[in-house]
Structure 1
């Protein structure tokens, strides 16, 4: 028998052992609530013998008022709950038949003691900001400024986070390459659709936001800026619940959205499903200017583009979790989306030679960009003991992108007479397939020591068929410079181990090491081995946290990270901006490697953070370059030899009155780029800062308002200098009497100041380009949201194996 067959046999036996493991580690679940049906956090919960009220087991309820008892034998019991300031309460008697029973009790209701109501008026809460050993935590549920907002709005107000709604980008303390995950799972959406999803997600469902600028070894090494983990609230009750929302808005054109979310949890199975649809009819205004010297003549072009894109996005997610035994859970998840993007545009381009008007071009564009995605995940989780867990994931993903565009170009001379016309067709199809498997083990040996280890394998295949054709003499002729068929085969193998150790109550240390090995080969029909990478790299991480006293904490960390090109950047494509200006992919793009040092200081709820990042082969998007004959200009992603970033973050809340609270964040960034750009050495140094301030106003119990805004100074993006920008948003929320329904009225970019202006001025490269982009960001939206059914459903939150791979597609 071959070695592979033996390994497969051993693995099959291992899975069978887990699947049929039903030995006794049962669960008794329930919740503790007050007389208004709100959760009672951290209540004492006792499992008592019905016969003599002796204590069998004791646990503490979670901050959501739920409990889970796993230590017991068959018998007759009652549950008792108590907390200072409340009268003790008890459940009805119940029987446990076997030690493998999975039982859920009705809620236990605690009544507050009358004589303490007036005396006790201080409630312990977590601070809005917490500094932990490897991350900064924003406790959204304790932040009044977050009530009634969306998850994206909460993310925008988080310390050091910059959300670029216009370009659908997110950066953290001055660095791009951020990975956004939800409950530890990256959302499988294109970037703009993911931002739309966060913009439609109710912040009341967000428990906390974790800003992990130096992620530990268990996470993939991808993402040089770090990870933003949005943790949603989870509950522990059984039953059925759901919610739906309907929204409409207007800017220059209409906007509509709707969503449905349903969960159903029984003793053994949890079913869930969501469907969301978003329609956005936009009107956009772009301007671009280009100047260069060509054969001793100064050539200038000035283009105005009026665009009419329409976006219809539909996403569906379904799955179930099946409790095989009290130790083992099997989960199946399917997810898919269809994103239809259609646009008509009219471009007016004018040309000058030595400041004399020479000609003009009119360009009419019709473009379609359709993405179809499907994903399946199988997850098996087994508890050897309560704190010893093994997780197995297997994912299959498929993406298909169809992106055709048609251009009609009409050229005129300086007297406005038509001199020529041209028809251009561009086609691009890109199917992508991924298979991902991972195995993760963790064991909390005691309260001071935890060990984690695991491995992951990823296989990726994609093809990218690009064609550019011109209609000449009645025949369509391919442009050989821009037409080709590319194929990529890539696999990544990874393994990691990490140790968490606490030295007393004041000091915590985390150390980890991750190893990743990459094989990546990109070929075309005309050239083999365009990319031929084979390498293995180590990615160490180290954290030290020291609590000085109850109010002061300091922390130091180091990590090494990688920023791999997205598949779209590696897959060449062509978008015509003008007859001489193109946006294109870059098959020669290399991964970037970063070393990151970080120091943090926390005083109560105020945060001060310092970060230094040194990056080799930094990836910079949308950078200008010319064709060899200088007749065409391309904007592509490219590597810069070295990038160094130093940042300082200061975040602090202010309570002005009981009805007016504010949160203020200040970020300062200094960036230096050194690179050989078209055989010219560049050393670009720039500084920038960003100020965020949000004000929460409580009008009454059901009516609240918010005013928030930001100002961003001029900053850099590769060769470009971005001009200052800012935005002011206002919103009102009205909750109905039953608290399950509410209306939100919001105005974004009230003063219409959030427009992107950028300039690339590099005389030694013969480059001068400036852009003005108005994405129609100001809009008025009215949204109605209603929750129905049991509001506390146990929904298992878990990761899949393919989170990083989904980001690279997106």
Structure 2
């Protein structure tokens, strides 16, 4: 600690021998211009000395300027570039403050919208990473879930409907900064319906401040949809045709209209897709309700027929120079037909044999509505008050019919004597989720060194699930007594927070926040509600020794609450001896993280220590009290401790070849007690992510991206390494007539997950099974061709909202 303090003192002394230039950039309406480029030049030879960008308030600072005569050049998209008068830095005048640099709006009317600059695909912030998905060729023709699969550190498990970030479970997903209070299965369905063409960027927030919900132990994934950004009218169209197992089609149309005081945005997308996935495997077990120990060989092939419609509307209006009113709404409708062929054969040690095959014919109709209304009030130059009201509604109807057949070793039909082997099952699950959230945030800049933010938030969510499962006995149907029905759950969360930022030195700042959350969940099947009240602190220290390097140290505490479907869900069958269900004894996960990040010249190094109490893993195998069936349900680990190293580096091989590489390495230790005996495991988790962009002559562009997870452990299971390589090529037509993009996801056809159930420790019934699940792209080469084009006029717009303003509004 003494060494570190001495280093800070030495840096402060060294800093005092240099000059500093600060100032503000604004437009003619006296509004700040965020993220404008400010470059310092020597007057004598016009050589570049240094440069920076304005923050969300239009402020900039250029430190470590030696004595001499200089001038500034300021530029920003949509504005005419500005060159300042020359000025001088001397020993007596080391700190120069430029009151305001005014940029003039550039009125440019185009027959077609031409994108002059392309954002870097991966950008680092103090909160985490920002991925500009529109900079990727692979985005075209994809949905939000497929885009998430390609992001550095994100793992999507569509077999088990799970998301993890940097190898850690407990991820909160937000849409435009609002938490989606859905179960993971319902969330995966919504992401599959969200067309990637409508996504502006995705934020991976691994160091959230106290202003964010405390939910999400591994962090937050925030999906930001496109909105209108300028005056005039722009129209974007996109059409995708593809084929894999069978046909795929996607179309989207968006309209942006900007006025002097208002912006409007509307989009519509349609998705039609027929996909196929499957699994196969085998293993041994000793289930007491079967004649004797057995060896089973099983398989399942699922065919999914999807039709989805999504409509997005957004508007913003400036009531006065200080008050802005806005709102947005997204409605998604999905109809899915699932056909699954499941088969199992049992070879018993007593010589018996039983074969089973079943056709599962299921339908699902989903309707999702996510909406918000907000007001931003700029009370003064130093303070702002925001109100945000959001409403979410989700409905789902999922009827299913399972027809079962049994046969002997010779393939002859038979009727098993054990009553657990039914002739079929049928059921229906009706779900209805309503959630309302009200948030009030107040920000205040006390002086040029101290700023603060305060807020309160309340949410109320209701979940209704009316489900039943019937089993066929001979020619009649009866209710399965193990199934749940008429489940009602209500969840209340109240939160209050305070967040402070203090500039210790021109090169260092500290942010500290404290969030208090009260959580209550009531379920009609239980007498007492579950309640929890916790404090969630967060502290971040940032040191910037130069404009090319930043060191950040952060501590935060988070919680991962189980979804209501994790606690109680309708049963469904994989085979007559095995069901999927919820776990009413599931506990929330509390996570403490201490991390340090260092960024210099694009290189990012991150080191973190993480401790989780009762982390949640889904689809773990246990049994009921009577031990007459196998149950796959969510379970808590006792704990998990990890040391994590993250490395990311953008490499420009040439002007036309860029590479983005990242790696996550984690040393983990965890304990599991829901197995036959408590067991501990220590292992190394390793993930690699690579993306490269190659610009070729004649307006061709190529992208290769991929990721690989080395072997790792998950609860009682061991998972082999797996990865994917994607490819895309684009051709921009002359005279801005649009772009053709060819996408080849999983070109090596490798997307398969190989799991050894009980590969870490023995589990119930001494099950030892190896299963291999493969996505559609592992069976067939998927090819997608997209044509996109933009039309209209675009000028700079006065209603500019920075990323930080958006975050302040949506917390």
Shorter-normalised TM range: 0.7 to 0.9
Contact 2:193 2:309 in 1 (8 A): no
Residue in structure 2 matched with residue 411 of structure 1 by the alignment: 406
The aligned runs of 1:584-603 (5 Å cut-off) are: 584-603=581-600
Bigger mean CA offset, 756-765 vs 213-222: 756-765
Does the C-alpha gap of structure 1 residues 743 and 686 become closer, same or farther in structure 2, counting only changes over 3 Å? same
Q: CA RMSD in A?
A: 3.7
- Mapped pair 1:361 → 2:370: no
SS of structure 1 residue aligned to 2:212: coil
Residue in structure 2 matched with residue 662 of structure 1 by the alignment: 659
Pairwise CA distance, 1:31: 12
Residue in structure 2 matched with residue 498 of structure 1 by the alignment: 499
Residue in structure 2 matched with residue 12 of structure 1 by the alignment: none
Does the C-alpha gap of structure 1 residues 392 and 332 become closer, same or farther in structure 2, counting only changes over 3 Å? same
Contact 1:145 1:695 in 2 (8 A): no
| Cα distance in 1 between the residues matched to 2:298 and 2:220 | 38
Counterpart of 1:276 (choices 255, 269, 273) is: 269
Pairwise CA distance, 1:542: 0.3
SS of structure 2 residue aligned to 1:201: helix
Does the C-alpha gap of structure 1 residues 578 and 125 become closer, same or farther in structure 2, counting only changes over 3 Å? closer
Residue in structure 2 matched with residue 718 of structure 1 by the alignment: 715
SS of structure 1 residue aligned to 2:566: helix
- Mapped pair 1:686 → 2:670: no
Residue in structure 2 matched with residue 755 of structure 1 by the alignment: 752
Residue in structure 1 matched with residue 771 of structure 2 by the alignment: 771
Pairwise CA distance, 1:158: 5.3
- Mapped pair 1:255 → 2:248: yes
Residue in structure 2 matched with residue 785 of structure 1 by the alignment: 788
Residue in structure 2 matched with residue 743 of structure 1 by the alignment: 740
- Mapped pair 1:65 → 2:65: no
Pairwise CA distance, 1:749: 0.9
Pairwise CA distance, 1:558: 0.5
Residue in structure 2 matched with residue 541 of structure 1 by the alignment: 538
Residue in structure 1 matched with residue 205 of structure 2 by the alignment: 212
The aligned runs of 1:38-187 (5 Å cut-off) are: 41-42=37-38, 64-66=76-78, 82-83=82-83, 107=106, 132-136=125-129, 159-164=152-157, 169-181=162-174, 184-185=177-178
Does the C-alpha gap of structure 1 residues 759 and 251 become closer, same or farther in structure 2, counting only changes over 3 Å? same
Contact 2:731 2:739 in 1 (8 A): yes
| Cα distance in 1 between the residues matched to 2:391 and 2:198 | 30
Pairwise CA distance, 1:64: 4.0
SS of structure 2 residue aligned to 1:260: strand
- Mapped pair 1:379 → 2:386: no
Structure-1-length-normalised TM-score = 0.80
| Cα distance in 2 between the residues matched to 1:130 and 1:376 | 28
Pairwise CA distance, 1:298: 1.8
Does the C-alpha gap of structure 1 residues 713 and 157 become closer, same or farther in structure 2, counting only changes over 3 Å? same
| Cα distance in 2 between the residues matched to 1:157 and 1:473 | 49
Residue in structure 2 matched with residue 467 of structure 1 by the alignment: 468
SS of structure 1 residue aligned to 2:735: coil
Does the C-alpha gap of structure 1 residues 751 and 225 become closer, same or farther in structure 2, counting only changes over 3 Å? same
Deviations 1:526-569 (A, max 9, x none): xx33x621221000000111223444432211000000112332
Contact 1:145 1:694 in 2 (8 A): no
Contact 2:548 2:601 in 1 (8 A): yes
Deviations 1:54-85 (A, max 9, x none): xxxx9999864357xxxxxxxxxxxx962379
Counterpart of 1:192 (choices 188, 192, 204) is: 188
Structure-2-length-normalised TM-score = 0.80
| Cα distance in 1 between the residues matched to 2:328 and 2:767 | 50
Does the C-alpha gap of structure 1 residues 379 and 749 become closer, same or farther in structure 2, counting only changes over 3 Å? same
Bigger mean CA offset, 469-478 vs 729-738: 469-478
| Cα distance in 1 between the residues matched to 2:212 and 2:776 | 37
Contact 1:41 1:65 in 2 (8 A): no
Residue in structure 1 matched with residue 515 of structure 2 by the alignment: 514
SS of structure 2 residue aligned to 1:569: helix
Residue in structure 2 matched with residue 523 of structure 1 by the alignment: 524
Structure 2, unmatched stretches of 5+, are 1-25, 41-57, 61-72, 87-102, 109-115, 416-421
| Cα distance in 1 between the residues matched to 2:152 and 2:613 | 26
Pairwise CA distance, 1:262: 1.1
Does the C-alpha gap of structure 1 residues 183 and 345 become closer, same or farther in structure 2, counting only changes over 3 Å? closer
- Mapped pair 1:294 → 2:294: no
Pairwise CA distance, 1:725: 0.9
Deviations 1:79-124 (A, max 9, x none): x9623799xxxxxxxxxxxxxxxxx986268xxxxxxxxxxxxx99
Pairwise CA distance, 1:355: 8.2
| Cα distance in 1 between the residues matched to 2:809 and 2:412 | 56
| Cα distance in 1 between the residues matched to 2:539 and 2:275 | 47
The aligned runs of 1:447-458 (5 Å cut-off) are: 447-458=448-459
Contact 1:31 1:237 in 2 (8 A): no
Pairwise CA distance, 1:242: 2.3
| Cα distance in 2 between the residues matched to 1:167 and 1:738 | 47
Q: How many residue pairs are counted as aligned between the two chains?
A: 711
Contact 2:668 2:684 in 1 (8 A): yes
Bigger mean CA offset, 613-622 vs 703-712: 703-712
Contact 1:641 1:674 in 2 (8 A): yes
Residue in structure 2 matched with residue 238 of structure 1 by the alignment: 231
SS of structure 2 residue aligned to 1:385: coil
Structure 1, unmatched stretches of 5+, are 1-24, 33-38, 45-57, 68-79, 87-103, 110-122, 805-810
Residue in structure 2 matched with residue 201 of structure 1 by the alignment: 197
